[in-house]
Amino acid sequence: MTTPLTTAEHDAEQPKRPVKVWDLPVRLFHWALVAALAISWWSGEEGNFTVHFISGHVVVGLIVFRVLWGVLGSQTARFRDFVRGPGAVLRYARRMFGSEPEYSVGHNPAGAVMVLLLMVVVAVQAGTGLFASEMTYAFVEGPLAPLVDSGTSEALTSLHKSLLFNALLALVTLHIVAALAYLLIKRENLINAMVTGWKTLPAEKAERAPRMASPLVAAGVAAVAVAVAGGLYAMT
């Protein structure tokens, strides 16, 4: 009697072909976010608030863009496509630590939890920055700080500088370790896919190539994001 193949073994036996999985807006969002967060970290540490306010508003614009793109964008970018229930995440987590590649077309269920957490923490980090103030040596405040009393602004500043920032650093570290583990242990290069947009997948999965949204929709969504972030920056 022959033992039935696992999904991973079945996938491994199939011929593979390249499929476009990430559109340009998602890739630009990702690498621009990495750059803007690095600049925000450096400028915050240096007390260079001219640069910090610009990079912080770029982060706000990127998050506005990604939230709208998660509703109007390409199939793999849509929250509806990659947000799964706890059951699917747990089932995936049980087999995630094996050495076989997973061949997910978009985010896998565990990766989806990680990227959602990253998006939320980045959004709250940038959001608290809008209400933050520094009134001891630099005398600067975020554009929305005048809307709250000084005690609230101080509390949000403290969250922005310590707890949230440390949580973000921890999540980013975990995120990078996970991407490297997929590369080194499962031999699945998710990083290359986030750079080029393409993955090489088993034929069965490659048949269902994700639908890509129109660049015109991306331009409209980008215009809204620039208007929101630019409007907030103009208030500083």
- Where do contacts with ligand HEM occur on this chain (CB under 6 A)? 26, 29-30, 33-34, 37, 66, 107-108, 111, 115, 118-119, 122, 172, 175-176, 179, 190-191, 194
- Euclidean distance between CA atoms 16 and 14, whole angstroms: 6
Quote the least distance from Cβ 70 to ligand HEM, whole Å. 8
Nearer to ligand HEM, 37 or 145 (CB): 37
The neighbouring-strand residues paired with 134 are: 140
Nearer to ligand HEM, 152 or 162 (CB): 162
Quote the least distance from Cβ 46 to ligand HEM, whole Å. 18
Place of tokens 């969250």: 159
Nearer to ligand HEM, 20 or 134 (CB): 20
Nearer to ligand HEM, 43 or 133 (CB): 43
Nearer to ligand HEM, 76 or 153 (CB): 76
Quote the least distance from Cβ 152 to ligand HEM, whole Å. 26
